[in-house]
Amino acid sequence: MLAVLSPGQGSQKPGFLTPWLELPGADARLRWWSALAGVDLVHLGTAADADEIKDTARTQPLLVAAALLAAEHLPMYDVAVTAGHSVGELGAAALAGVLSPEAAITLAGVRGREMAAACALEPTGMAAVLGGDPDEVLAAIAAHGLHPANRNGAGQVVAAGAADGLAKLAAEPPAKARVIPLQVAGAFHTPYMAPAEEALAAVAAGITPTDPSRILLSNFDGSAVTHGRELLQRLVRQVTAPVRWDLCMRTLADLGVTAVIELPPAGTLAGLVKRELKGDGLPEIVTLNTPDDLPAARDLIARHGMAPSHEPTMHFRVVVSTGAGTFEPAAGLAEGDTLRTGQVIGHVITRQGAVDVAAHDDGVLTEWLAHHDDPVAPGQPLARIGGHL
C-alpha cells in the first residue's frame, strides 16, 4: 500500500518550482491558479527570495499549487492513501477527490491571507521543542500558557502562543529538551487564529465537496475521513486546532503502508516518517523534488500501488474505519447483499460508544475485510463494495 504526502509551511525553498515550469502546460496552470489565489505563483516558485516566500499569505497557496502540479504527472489512480501536513491537507483533499484543484487553491489563498492578518493582531510565535519526556514537554508548554500546535512525532512538539510565554519556555526548557524559536509570523493552529477560521468557514460554506475516492487521513486525529462534508469542516477547524501528524503516521503504520511519496518541496515529512517508523516497518520513500524524480516515484507506485481492475464494467470502493475499536458487522448482512447509499453496514465499538459505518454508494457487498470483534484502527479497510460504472 502506498501513501502520497503533501508538505506544509516551512518546507519551501527559493526557486524550487523552476524545473517544473519546463514541463508542458505547467506555466499556464500556475498562472490560472495565481488568478484564483491572488498571488503570482510563477514568480514565487521561481524568482522570489526566502523572505518573500516566508510570507504566510504567499506560502500557503504556493505549497498547495506545487503539490498539485507534481501530482498531475503521477498515476494517482493506483495510490491508496493521501495525507497532508497543515495547509498540505488542502492538497491531499484535492488528490483524494474531495475538492477540485481550483477549490483547494482558492481556499489556500484565503487561508494564507486570513492567517497572516490574524498574526498581525498581537505578538505571537512558535518554537520547536526537541526531545524530552513527552508528558513533561506538554506540561511545560501548558505551564507557560502556550499551546502544542504541532505534535509531529519523532520527539518533536511545536509550542505556540504569546511571545513572552515562548521566551520563558526557552529560558526554562523541559529536562533533556531543546527549544528552538521558529521564524514564523504567529501562533498557527491555536485560538489566536480564530478570526482566520471564521473567514475561511464563510468561503468554504459555498463549496460542495465530494466523498474521498481513496483513504484520506485527517490532521485532527489521524483518522480516515469518509465523507467530504466532514473533511471540509475539519479543514476549517484545523486553522485553530493542533496538527496531530504523530497520529497520521501511526495510522500509516496501522494500515501497513509499504511506500511513501512526498510531493514537492519534499524532505520534511519524509524525515519525520523515517525517524518515527524506523526499523522493519519503515516504508520505502521517494522525495519528489524535481521532474527528474518522477521515474522513481512512478516505479514506486507500480510496485506498491493498487493493481488496476481488469473488469472494466465494475468499480470498487473500500469502506474504512474512522476510529479505533472493535468491529461489529450489521446483523444479517452477508457478502453478495445489495446496499444502498448511507446504509449502515456495521459499527466500530470505541471507548466513547458505537460509531456507525455506512456505505458511500449503492452497490454490492463484495467482501468483508474485517469480521465480528476484530480490532480495527483508524483508516483500516472494513468492507469492499462493488458497483457498475
- The catalytic site residues sit at 86, 189
Residue among 345, 340, 367 nearest 356 (CA) = 345
| 7's grid cell | 508538505
Residues near 101 by beta carbon (within 8 Å), at least 6 away in sequence: 33, 68, 94
Q: How far is it, in rounded angstroms, from Cα 285 to Cα 274? A: 9
Cα distances (Å, whole numbers) of residue 33 to 59, 99, 298, 388:
14, 14, 25, 34
**Cell numbers 477549490: residue:** 103
Report residue 319 as a C-alpha cell: 469502506
Calculate ∠ Cα 4-8-13, nearest 5°: 105
Among 271, 268, 288, 290, CA closest to 15: 290
d(CA 388, CA 25): 34
Half-sphere exposure of 174 (CA within 13 A, CB side): 23
How many helices (H) and strands (E) in the chain? Answer: 12, 17
Whether 379 contacts 212, CB under 8 Å = no
User: What's the CA gap between 237 and 299, in Å, rounded?
Assistant: 36
- Tell me the pairing of strands 156-162 and 124-131: antiparallel
Write the CA distances from 258 to 7, 46, 197, 201, 217, integer angstroms.
19, 33, 35, 36, 16
